[in-house]
Structure 1
Amino acid sequence: MSTPLEVEPGSSAAAPEAVLEGVRKIEGRSLWQISWMRLKRDKVAIAGGIIVVFLILVAIFAPLICKLVGVTPNDFHQDLVDPSLQTSIGKWNGISWDHPFGIEPVNGRDIFARIVYGARISLLIAFLATLLSVVIGTVMGIIAGYFGGWVDTLISRLMDIFLAFPLVLFALALVGAIPDRILGLTGDALRVALIVFIIGFFSWPYIGRIIRGQTLSLREREFVDAARSLGARRPYILFTELLPNLIAPILVYATLLIPTNVLFEAALSYLGVGVRPPTASWGDMLSTAANWYQVEPLFLVPPGLAIFVTVLAFNLFGDGLRDALDPRSR
């Protein structure tokens, strides 16, 4: 048996604590910190995120922006419209310092103000519809994936029914059958609530299928078995053990679902079942511009470009967020 090594008092050998004093400590990083580092390296996703934040700020501060520019969305400027041709008097759709994007034909309403106010309607409906579909899809997906059996079969067939539903035709029929007042809601509030319900309630199966697949994998993990062995009840396992591990796919799919809802709201407004005039909406502006494109072709550009930039920004940010949270998907 070897004898322990003895250090003489005058020896140069240092204690372990003294050796570690000059070593830099390496701090651990959480999964969210690692994901943020990956996201910061994706310049395209960051650019999309900046545009998304800008659009949200524009929608929130629309009245202030229009007040600073000196324009309003619903005021008519008949003095700027040629009464014989029903078009703007000036060139380039009446673009001027007072009207940066020009004016609408026939009535002379300012296009810039209507684009800014239209952002409020499009983003409000898209965010609320996405929230509704995410909540319903997450709950149904977790229940179907965790319980399995006849519960999974029932919810899966329900998803198939909703996915096969003719949503546009249903929206057209429902808007025509709904009275002007329901549960104290009238006017634009009723239309917004109706569109949010149609989009959100009938689009939850898309995220429900994703959450169900993730839950089928997570329910076999060790931390779920440990929770069961400790006597945890099913609601605790579903919403305390499983749900936090589903935040990443929920967040990613929500950012990719928002631009789809923006397009759907614009399509409903284009067909005349969105918010009622004179409330500004990008889809309604496109519908009006389609009737005047031969004499005022530039009228199509602002609402079309607003929809294009919004959808592109959300898609770029959503793709970057997906790559950051799940690098194996690249």
Structure 2
Amino acid sequence: MTAPLDVPDPAHPSGPAGADPAAPAPAAARTRSLSRIAWGRLRRDKVAMAGGAVVVLVIAVAVFAPLIVRFVGTPPNQFNSDLIDPVLGTANTPWGGISAEHPFGVEPVNGRDLFSRVVYGARISILIGFLATLVSVVIGTVMGIVAGYFGGWVDAVISRLMDIFLAFPLLLFAMALAGVIPDAAFGLQGNSLRVAILVFVIGFFNWPYIGRIIRGQTLGLREREFVEAARSLGVSNAYILFRELLPNLVAPILVYSTLLIPVNILFEAALSFLGVGINPPTAAWGQMLSSAVQFYSVAPNFMLAPGLAIFVTVLAFNLFGDGLRDAFDPRTH
């Protein structure tokens, strides 16, 4: 006996008898959003996911630094003179003082715990990296979307402004600014003022990088049908910029923000290494590297600890950013 055929129901011509036209479509037939597609691609990229896991770990270490140091290591500014050889000025135990209490060893001369200083240094680097990136993204997005949408003399002025900022000797300016700013200004003092200066210098002068990217994306989007439809309805330019164009720029903004954070972290470390960053004794990775230069031959762990922290953090952000860029770019699949 042959199997019965599915005879179409006259009341439901689109399917077999008993089919409910109001029933939801199968999961495979449902339209997936760009974010779902990108997340699926990102999950398949094991290298990017590993980088993202390290990024989350570094952020968690920075946020919970006091709690971590309470269980491992000693306070970052506590001197442990009993662990230092009074003649040589280095740790009086092998491997630079590495032990269960001091996983990364101790600093020469004063015996401060390297683990706790690296953990607390993550707070400075992550804070400045994120805040400076936020400043760059806000300014760069606004300038880029305005230049790309309006074009003409507006685009010319903003583009030349980008060229000026890109040609600006940022490192020399940061060193000069840090030298002339007093210990208290603008209602801030000490390291709070230093953090504000670093965020301003790094963030305000780095916006052209993302501004150029947003401008290029906007030049293509402004010719799309949805923008023409919005214009035909008589809506304002501000509405088109921030309600029509900006939502379509979220993906590139997110991707290049992730790639800009490690650049800002490296720049902060460079400024701290040159002595124009965070004031001691507050821990900062670049400052620790600067202090370790004269001890690299007798206490290599003093240089390796902050150096590896910078390397791993920057590498993790770059791997995650590259994976995020590939996930949002359909041409790579």
Identity of aligned residues (%): 69
Equivalent runs, 1:131-146 vs 2, <5 Å:
131-146=134-149
Give 1:1-330 correspondences, 5 Å limit. 13-15=7-9, 16=12, 18=17, 20=19, 25=26, 26-329=29-332
- Contact 2:91–2:108 (CA<8 Å) still a contact in 1? yes
Larger deviation, residues 164-173 vs 68-77? 68-77
* Partner SS state of residue 244, structure 2: helix
CA deviation profile, 1:235-277 (whole Å, cap 9, x unmatched): 0000000000000100000000000011000000000011000
Deviations 1:175-212 (A, max 9, x none): 00111111210011100000000000000000000000
Q: Which runs of 5+ in 1 are unaligned?
A: 1-10
Equivalents in 1 of 2:6, 2:237: separation in Å? 62
Contact 2:270/2:286, CA 8 A, preserved across alignment = yes
Question: 8 Å contact 2:73–2:103 — kept in the other structure?
Answer: no
List alignment gaps of at least 5 residues for structure 2. none
Query: How far apart, in 2, do the equivalents of 1:70 and 1:315 lie?
Result: 30
In 2 relative to 1, CA 91–229 (structure 1 residues): closer, same or farther, beyond 3 Å?
same
Q: Take 1:12 and 1:34, find their aligned partners in 2: how far apart are those partners?
A: 35
Q: TM-score, normalised by structure 1?
A: 0.94
- What displacement does 1:49 show? 0.4
Residues 100 and 228 (structure 1), Cα distance of their counterparts in 2 relative to 1, 3 Å cut: same
CA distance in 1, matches of 2:112, 2:151: 57
TM-score (norm: length of structure 2): 0.93
- Say if 1:225 and 1:292 are closer, same or farther in 2 by CA, change over 3 A: same
CA RMSD of aligned residues (A): 1.6
Shift, 1:109, TM fit: 0.2
How far, CA to CA, are the matches of 2:330 and 2:266 in structure 1? 28
**Partner Cα distance (2:123, 2:34) in 1:** 34
> How far does residue 70 in structure 1 lie from its aligned partner after superposition?
4.5
